[in-house]
Chains A and B, each alone.
Chain A
Amino acid sequence: MSELKAGSRLERIFEKGEFAITAELGPPKSADVEVIKTKAGYLNGNVDAVNITDNQTAIVRMSSIAAGYLAMQEGLEPIIQITCRDRNRISIQSDVLGAYALGIKNILCLTGDHQKFGNHPNSKNVFDMDSIQLIYMLKQMRDEKIFACGDEIKNSKKAPVVEPKIYIGGAANPFGDPFEFRVIRLAKKVKAGADFIQTQCIYDMDRFEEWMKQVRDRGIHEKVKIMAGVTPLKSVGMAKYMRDSVAGLSVPDYYIDRLSKAEDKAAEGIKICVEQIQKLREMEGIAGVHLMAIEWEKRVPEIVEQAGLLPRPEVNN
């Protein structure tokens, strides 16, 4: 095994050549720790790491670092999400140092949803940098041991350099426009230093395969671990909402048909999700699946189970 960049469980899974599975945990819209404990209970032992979202859709929630730390206490490995919407380079670097000091080893770098969609649409956004520049900044911090300004990461002239050893993730949306730019953007993330990529949730397998072909043509899948995003459909309403209201998402009508004909919509949604995971597993260049069960964490164990991904492999620390 080559020398690890951060030594997170996620990184070890990939290094071992295992098919990784991650899930998502949205921090509470309050200071209620119990929410994290409950959700963590569903996920513990069933996934390799868990994304802790950063005020997703621009709605105020508990800080992702704090929630990640709490999740860690529950036995989960967190992947902290950091967006560029709310913090400038000073604040982000400071948070990265703090997160690492608390034992956090994975960070997913995102641009962030526009505040217009959240509960504080009148706020000022920051966007000091974009997600690609954020990835590069973390890589510089880890590998060159410097801050964005070029200063070395140490407390004083004589103090030791203690850099944050972070496993760096990025996101990819294979379905946004302009379609031809999507792979270019992925390539730029990899060039900036992304170690792993999680994609937007995928329903349109044909279009995703088309994108993956472009990815493979550029050899990107050999430089980065690509995790395909999946989201189980809870209901026909949700499927239609995803199809009609979420930019860059297309839900093929046959899934909607299947759901509307099914007696137990939830079970059918899970069945579809499991089929998707199995299909993605066969796809060349896919190193894992990112399971975004939106406010449905309790069904994660059965999805992972039915997909034949249990038990999760042991990786020594």
Chain B
Amino acid sequence: MAKKKSELIVLCCENSAYLAAESLTDTKIMQSVKVVMLPCSGRVEVGLILKFLENGAAGVLVLGCPLDNCKFVRGNYRAQKRVDVAMKALNDAGVNKDKVKIDFISSLDTHKFIALVKEMKSTLF
């Protein structure tokens, strides 16, 4: 089957996770992974997450700044709530809700970034 291989979308806050991702040297881990930059994890919307999945993404991993350390005070808390709603929607649709996940890392946490991506990939692929 010549089907386009679906990808894990990682929605990254540009103040933390995106910087952590930029420091990656091992590119193998990034196979079938697409990093998407957001100004803040608070920009994430339920509809946006679902849209990525509808468009064929294998999963969506949202990475915000550590809780209580959002550049915009509470964007990451808001993102967490929205991810919860997206998970509920997936559940409703009969789709594995673990296709969506949120976690919080700092710009220095490249190792955590790798671990989270690895873990998510192992559940998805």
Q: Do chains A and B touch in the complex (CB under 8 A)?
A: no
- Hey, which bits of chain B sit against chain A, CB under 8 A? none
- Hey, which bits of chain A sit against chain B, CB under 8 A? none
